[in-house]
Structure 1
């Protein structure tokens, strides 16, 4: 029996090649998109699942109130670790202090690698369940030891056993390799950590900080006790720091809380101390897109399947007349539907295999199909069976119930109401497509709008170099003079932070007219006098720093946001106290965008840095030379002063562009999926237009005999489809406006929803509809009326 079902189903598919192709192609594309998005969503949702105790690991974070606003940060003071161990030991299995991830130069002999690593307390390897390939997790218990990732060990030692070998970090820290751990996967928040060294070895950070509750320069990770509740412990430690702070620090109203590891990536955004989401909104967005695209494909499949089934009424009558049972007809129709769906699944898996490398490149992932995972096949087969059963249910139960005598006499008519469900599905299809199109345009405009935002400096030809040793800093004056003399650069300056980010702030500023009850936090950027010329900032009042004025050591430059916040009507010459030390305002600059391009510029104070504040070289390349020639000359100068350092530089415009990476990926992927959604919808419309033209072939012949023109017939056949699309537009446009208005609400600095977006989308969709339907309409209108009127 199954063999007969298969032969009949295959014969039916081959007999109607055009419809079969449209059905299988549309569903295949929809399934492929859903599979790709499913892989991406699974990767996002499984973030940090690599770590065995991820559900009980948390990071200690704090809310602080400055300028009347609650700021959330990961920085905590060093003595907090001791406090949690001593007084809250029953709540935690482990408490691990850590530095921030640092770009460091790791050296073995002549081999040098610039890479990120952390300095952590000994329990880190156990807490994060590193999978040791050599050595043991306990290796960090000894001073001057280091754990290397597998890839870093390979880069430094090749195939040689690294255990017990010596490596040098940043030119002065000598460490012994105590273990090698498996590279952490890309969907781990710690995947960038290529080495871990003992926390106390970094004395430049830790010295003198053991009892300093005001310095939030460290991180703390905790592993909860087995029976401890995350929210309960979080509430218990809330005021630990507040009780220990001095009077000045206590005014910030520090409140500690635990951020669970499973939320580090997906829920990393806070506003006014409340978690507002993060990458999870992209998970929801792509889940919805994937569901919509698959829905469009299923609508196509069901629409064409049910439409074509009406052509088979006579076949059902004949088969019933010769003795076929209703159950046999039901099984036959279901088998045909399932066969088409499984053909589609096979094609979809081939498409996914071919598209996955490109998808990974666009998405910035390393996804792979879990061919050997039973849940993957269960999901694929389960969905295929469900789709086949739903799409096959109409012909299976409706057509199999026909009275054979009515069908064979030709008295059976489907009736005008038979097309209503198909029209509703077409409306739903284009409603979804229009929403996706509008969403894609708005995402693209938001990224472009923010990228075009004035930065307050000139990024073209500006590079930065991280000073990994003290060599550049100790010889800065000579280094700068030689670099200028070489013609490679037009200016060079030091700063304590790159111009594309800032992690230095202070709240001990006061000025005349300041409200004593308000805690005012300012970004503080230490620079050398030539910084303004190097980065190309714009002075709007007063003057820049100069080597010609000794008094500039007690001078500061404010950005416009700081002037506005302070309420200074004539800022030049005003005195601002930093702690107990007075500073004079020398100049005001345009706001320099150093942090998130989606947020307002923070009030900032620039001051002449002391020798200990350096860290970044800001270099303006000579525009008269090619970039390659300028970099070659600059490298020769840098090697003269620090031969052991790698000449490792970053273009500022590239660093700034990296801030938009997530949004740009979302925009590209959404654009691709939207085009596929439109293609699937157009494909289904093409099939439906072909079916309608075939259904009305006699009507077309009669109208032609009575003098109807091709244009008249084209209008008649396309009108119904255009009406359906217009109805879809009236539903989709308000829905898209509400959806995207809510999405844009996550950004402080955002574009607006212009009317032309909706007008252009509507016009585009109507044009696509006309182009899709016109081929079949014109073809039918040009057919020979004699052939149209022949009896079947």
Structure 2
């Protein structure tokens, strides 16, 4: 019996080759997208899952009156360890603010992300250098580099460790021993580094109240996190108050004591206004408390869109299977008369559908393998279909069974439910009984397609706005020159004078930060009795001119006014608004233990992109509280760009004797453009989803309209005999499907509008939600419907009525 049912299934599939191909093709395309996205989602949601007890590790952060930050003080870690028994381990890390150069006579590499961690944190994150993790003695530092760094510096053979390498510029002649190779997948971890320094105690002999450390805690399994949060908050407030008391005791002069007693009151107030939070390690990549959740939005969008594509494919499959039920009616009737049970018929039809789904899955795997390079390029990943994705071996069969049941259970019940007497008499009403379901499924398909089309157009509009809107500065002809050393003003002035002599150079400056989306340091400033935390950018003369920021009031820094280099300061519009002062130029603002005079107000510049509002920012030439000025920027005339870069490269060693080993640069507009990467990925997601849903929905419409027109051939012939024109017939056949698509638009537009509105709300600077994308999506859906149905209807219009009515 099984062989007989298999033969019947194969014959039916072959007999209806067009419908079978559409069913299998649509499902294969959706499944290939599902496979790729499943790999991506698994990767994005499993950061640091190789770390033992990763679910019990938390990053400590602070909630301040105006922001959230992951930076904590050095003293807090030890205080938590001593005060709270639920905390098993506490680890700390600290970033460097500049690149490290590691070199040998055979090669040179630059570590952009160099971090120092303590031995405890290395154990928490399961760091395993080749040769094993060794606890450093005393104040020693064990330096570990990744394999690619070692290969670049020692291209001939792997050295015997510890291996001596040069640190920093070659002229400095500073050396260090590399302890070994560390194999850590930074692409899949929240602990990101190019080079790793491990010490017994991070920050030993450093200022205990400095807020530039990351603190991780590992709690005991089963810990009540709500209670732990309260205990950590209590310890944090005590440490904050202690730091102010310590500062008062340590300062000797009367003036310093008075100033620090004021700080004591200020810090006590801050303790009441601020708090701490515990951010789970599992959340840090996608939904960090102190950070943005763009990664999470992309993952959720991909997941939701892929599920919808799969739903459309299953709907398409179900719709076409139901549409062909009449062709199998007599087969079912005969089998029932011969004694077949309904359960056996359901099983038979499910086997047929399973066969189609299995072929679709095989094709999907092939399509996924072919599409993988494009997917990797779009999302800046390097996935392999099977490497590190062994779960697919058992997950795909489960997906196959689920799709078979979703797509086939209802058609199987319909087919097996025919009544033999009615079927054998030719009384078939099944098509009408299932008409409501087929129409609903078709509406659902086009609704999803319309949502995706409208979403794609809105995402593209926001991206176009971000690329073309005035950012408040001009990065188009600015070159960022990388530098790894600190220097004094006389040295920089000499370097600047020589570079300005080059034809085509408009200006040259140095600053602590560049507009690449990174956040500068933050310092508290007080003016007219109001104390605010503000971003601080450490700049030099010509900074504003180099980036071509726009002046609103006062003036920029100028060498004509020598005081600018000592206590001059420029605020942005956001800072002036935060203080609520009028005419701020000339007023005094205090921060970093000194008084500054405001010389100008610059218009707001979107240095961190469009997702976050411009922060209140101060620009100062002299500030002991800001990051060091190490980042060179040169504004070059576009017509001389190639010549200037060539001249700088050839003369760099002579120009910059402190750090002239390599001339490394990036174009500022390219750096800033990387801030849009995730949104461009989201656009790619919508683009792919829109194409897939439109294609699958059109395939379904093509097959469904072909079946509908074929079943109405006699009606069409009678109408032609009674005098109906070709246009009348085409209008009749199109009107039904146009109504379906119009209903889909009425449902899809509000869904797309709400989803787009919520997405746009994540941007501080965004477009007004346009109406045009909805009309464009509706027009495309109607045009595709007219073309698809008319293409099918042309044969019906041309058919001779005699051929359809000759048996009547």
TM-score of the two chains, using structure 2 as the length reference:
0.90
Counterparts in 2 of 1:740 and 1:395: CA distance versus 1, 3 Å: closer
Q: Does 1:335 align with 2:347?
A: no
Q: What is the CA-CA distance between 1:758 and the residue it aligns to?
A: 1.6
Q: Against the structure 1 CA distance between its residues 98 and 696, is the aligned structure 2 distance closer, same or farther, given a 3 Å change threshold?
A: same
1:287-342 CA-partner distances (Å, limit 9, x unpaired): 21111000000001011011112122123334455665655543432221111111
Query: Measured at CA, do residues 550 and 372 of structure 1 come closer, stay the same or move farther in structure 2, by a change above 3 Å?
Result: closer
Residues 1:397 and 1:499: Cα distance change in structure 2 (over 3 Å): closer
Structure 2 residue 128 is the aligned partner of structure 1 residue 131? yes
Aligned to 1:33: 33
Q: CA RMSD in A?
A: 2.7
**Deviations 1:190-241 (CA, angstroms, capped at 9, x unpaired):** 2x41211146999xxx597433x2x322222223345644443332121424
Q: Distance in 2 between matches of 1:41 and 1:101?
A: 32
Asked if residue 368 in structure 1 is aligned to residue 364 in structure 2, the reply is: no
The aligned counterpart of 2:168 is 170
Task: Work out the CA distance in 1 between the residues paired with 2:422 and 2:524.
Answer: 92
What is the rounded CA distance, in whole Å, between the counterparts of 1:37 and 1:161 in structure 2? 41
Is residue 2:10 matched to residue 1:7?
no
- Residue aligned with 1:550, SS: coil
Across the two proteins, how many residue pairs are aligned to each other? 773
Shift of 1:137: 4.3
What are the equivalent positions in structure 2 for 1:245-260 lying under 5 Å apart?
245-246=243-244, 247=264, 248-252=266-270, 253-260=273-280
Match of 1:659 in 2: 675
| 8 Å Cα contact 2:610-2:763 kept in structure 1 | no
* 2:721 counterpart residue number: 705
| Distance verdict in 2 for CA 1:119–1:397, change over 3 Å | closer
User: Against the structure 1 CA distance between its residues 6 and 154, is the aligned structure 2 distance closer, same or farther, given a 3 Å change threshold?
Assistant: farther
Report if the CA contact (8 A) 2:517-2:672 is conserved.
no
Given that 2:119 and 2:201 are in contact with CA atoms closer than 8 Å, whether structure 1 keeps it comes out as no
Contact 2:298 2:681 in 1 (8 A): no
1:197 alignment counterpart = 197
Asked whether 1:536 is paired with 2:552, we answer no
After superposition, the C-alpha distances for 1:444-468 in whole angstroms (9 at most, x for unaligned) are 2233323333222210111222321
Match of 2:50, SS state, is coil
User: What is the CA-CA distance between 1:748 and the residue it aligns to?
Assistant: 2.6
Tell me the equivalent position of 1:629. 643
Distance 1:695 1:668 in 2: 40
2:212 aligned with 1:217: yes
Unaligned runs of 5+ in 1: none
Aligned counterparts of 2:557 and 2:721: Cα–Cα separation in 1: 90
Aligned-pair CA distance for 1:76: 1.6
- Distance change >3 Å, CA 210–CA 552, structure 1 → 2: closer
- SS of the equivalent of 2:653 reads helix
SS at match of 2:54: coil
Equivalent residue, structure 1, for 2:285 = 265
**Greater displacement, 55-64 / 408-417:** 408-417
587-596 or 77-86, which deviates more: 77-86
**Structure 2 CA distance for aligned equivalents of residues 401 and 623 of structure 1:** 76
> In structure 1, what is the equivalent of residue 781 of structure 2?
765
The C-alpha deviation readout for 1:653-710, integer Å capped at 9, x for no partner, is 1111111111111111221112101110111011100000110011111112222222
Query: Residues 10 and 138 (structure 1 numbering): CA distance in 2 closer, same or farther, change over 3 Å?
Result: farther
Higher alpha-carbon deviation: 35-44 or 3-12: 3-12
Alignment of 1:626-775 (within 5 A): 627-640=641-654, 641-642=656-657, 645-775=661-791
Say if 1:777 and 1:477 are closer, same or farther in 2 by CA, change over 3 A.
Answer: same
Aligned match of 1:560? 573
| Residue in structure 2 matched with residue 157 of structure 1 by the alignment | 154
Aligned counterpart in structure 2 of residue 551 of structure 1, from 552, 563, 582? 563
- CA deviations over 1:695-732 (Å, ceiling 9, x no partner): 00111111122222221111111111111111111111
CA contact (8 A) 1:268 1:278 kept: no
Distance 1:87-1:291 versus aligned 2 partners, 3 A rule: same
| Residue 107 of structure 1: aligned partner | 103
Contact conserved, 1:456 with 1:538, CA < 8 A, in 2? yes
Q: 1: distance between equivalents of 2:680 and 2:437?
A: 38
CA distance in 2, matches of 1:615, 1:276: 27
Q: Is the 8 A contact 2:358 2:400 kept in 1?
A: yes
Q: Is it true that 1:146 corresponds to 2:143 in the alignment?
A: yes
Question: Residue 162 and residue 75 in structure 1: after superposition, are their counterparts in 2 closer, same or farther (change >3 A)?
Answer: farther
Number of the residue aligned with 1:572: 585
Structure 1 pair 478–140 and aligned structure 2 pair: CA distance change class (3 A): farther
Q: Deviations over 1:465-490 (max 9, x none)?
A: 23212369762122112212232522
Q: What secondary structure does 2:531 align onto?
A: coil
Cα contact 2:143–2:179 (8 A) shared by 1: yes
Q: Distance in 2 between matches of 1:228 and 1:547?
A: 60
Pairing partner for 1:238 from 208, 217, 233:
233
Distance 1:504 1:733 in 2: 42
Instruction: Give me the whole-angstrom Cα distance separating, in 1, the residues matched to 2:551 and 2:388.
Output: 63
- Comparing 138-147 and 746-755, the one that deviates more: 138-147
Aligned positions of 1:185-584 closer than 5 A: 185-190=186-191, 192-198=192-198, 209-211=206-208, 213=209, 215-226=210-221, 228-239=223-234, 240=236, 241-246=239-244, 247=264, 248-252=266-270, 253-270=273-290, 279-320=295-336, 326=342, 328-370=344-386, 375-414=391-430, 416-470=432-486, 475-487=491-503, 489-501=505-517, 503-511=519-527, 514=528, 516=529, 518-553=530-565, 554-578=567-591, 581-584=594-597
Q: 426-435 or 367-376: which moved more?
A: 367-376
SS in 2 for 1:132: coil
Assess, with a 3 A threshold, how the Cα gap between structure 1 residues 665 and 15 changes in structure 2: closer, same or farther.
Answer: same
Partner of residue 256, structure 2: none
Distance 1:198 1:382, change over 3 A: closer
Give a deviation string over 1:567-616, Cα, whole Å, max 9, x none: 33323322323355332222222212222422221222212236993211
Instruction: Tell me the distance in 2 between the aligned counterparts of 1:501 and 1:402.
Output: 65
> Do the aligned residues in 2 keep the contact of 1:267 with 1:277 (CA within 8 Å)?
yes
Contact 1:145 1:175 in 2 (8 A): no
Structure 1 residues 610 and 687, CA gap change in structure 2 (3 angstroms): same
Q: Give yes or no for contact 1:144–1:201 (8 Å, CA) kept in 2.
A: no
CA–CA separation in structure 1 for the residues paired with 2:33 and 2:336: 41
SS of the aligned residue for 2:361 comes to: helix
Task: Give 1:21 shift.
Answer: 0.8
1:608 to 605, 617, 621: 621
State the distance in 1 between where 2:160 and 2:514 align.
34
In structure 2, the residue matched to 1:781 is: 797
Matched residue, 2:605: 592
Corresponding residue for 2:46?
46
Give unpaired runs (5+ residues) of structure 2. Answer: 245-263
Which whole-Å CA distance do the structure 2 matches of 1:73 and 1:441 have between them?
Answer: 35
Check conservation: 1:121, 1:140, Cα contact below 8 A.
Answer: no
Q: Which residue of 1 aligns with 2:76?
A: 80
The SS at the match of 1:356 is: helix
Match of 1:620 in 2: 635
Contact 1:28 1:347 in 2 (8 A): yes
